[in-house]
Amino acid sequence: MRGILLLLICLVTAGPLQAATLAQYTFDDPAKEEDFRTLIGEMRCLVCQNESLAGSNADLAVDLRDEIYEMMKAGQGKADIVDFMVQRYGDFVLYSPPVKPSTYPLWFGPLLLMLLGAYLLMRALKKKKQSQETTLSDEDQKRLDSLLKLSSDTKDATK
């Protein structure tokens, strides 16, 4: 019961804590502030990896937010900041990395794995179907035909 209560308290206070960390970043121009919020929302926390810089409270995320804030205050544009971050940390820092040879496995890997899986499934089904099809010898075929004829004669007689 105590664990549930503690978890509930953490969930209730987590939102305001996150909002308070972003409140310190103010700009004179609302467009710059929007650009800043968009930018830190599009960049991945390198520590958490599944959170954006905007949502992470890791020390590195705070440092990167501070650095982006200072760069924007100095007059650098979004494209310059993105280029700097990618040059420093690689495409991994972006939630949506560009399509280029180094990111082909990321973009096309899942498609290739699905196609490979479909091919292997079709091959297995075809192999199973072929293994089920067996040819009868002439003697077995005659016996089968006579049994089928006997069965149909019995059905006709009962009608």
CA separation for the pair 42, 56 (Å, rounded) = 12
CATH number of the domain that residue 85 is part of: 1.10.8.640
Return the structure tokens found at 8.
């509930």
Please report whether residue 79 resides in a domain.
yes
Task: Examine residue 111 and state whether it is found in any structural domain, yes or no.
Answer: no
Q: Which of 28, 27, 55, 26 is nearest to 40 (CA)?
A: 55
Which of 85-89, 97-101, 131-135: highest mean pLDDT?
A: 85-89
Residue 84 lies in domain:
25-98
Judge whether 56 lies within some domain: yes
pLDDT digit string (tens) for 29-42?
888 888 889 999 99
Q: Where are the alpha helices (DSSP H) in the chain?
A: 2-23, 30-42, 59-73, 78-89, 104-132, 138-158
pLDDT at 20: 41
pLDDT, greater one: 115 or 51 = 115
Q: Structural domain tally of the chain?
A: 1
- 66 within some domain: yes
Residue 147 lies in a domain: no
Higher model confidence: residue 154 or residue 76?
76
pLDDT over 90 for what percent of the chain? 25
Does residue 113 fall inside a structural domain? no
In a domain, 33, yes or no: yes
Cα–Cα distance, 90 to 82 (Å, whole number) = 10
For residue 8, being part of any structural domain is answered with no
Q: What is the pLDDT of residue 11?
A: 58
- The residues pairing with 52 across neighbouring beta strands, listed in sequence order, are 44
Mean pLDDT of 86-90: 90
Element housing 24 (H / E): none
- pLDDT of 81 reads 92
Beta bridge partner(s), residue 117: none
**Model confidence, pTM:** 0.56
pLDDT on residue 70: 92
Structure tokens at 103: 């990111």
Task: Provide long-range contacts, Cβ within 8 A and 24+ apart, for 69-75.
Answer: 69/25, 69/36, 72/27, 72/32, 72/35, 72/36, 72/39, 73/27
In angstroms, rounded to a whole number, what is the distance separating the alpha carbons of residues 113 and 92? 21
pLDDT tens for 6-25 read 655 655 555 544 444 576 78
Would the pLDDT of 52 be above 50? yes
pLDDT at 51 over 70: yes
Chain mean pLDDT for the chain: 82
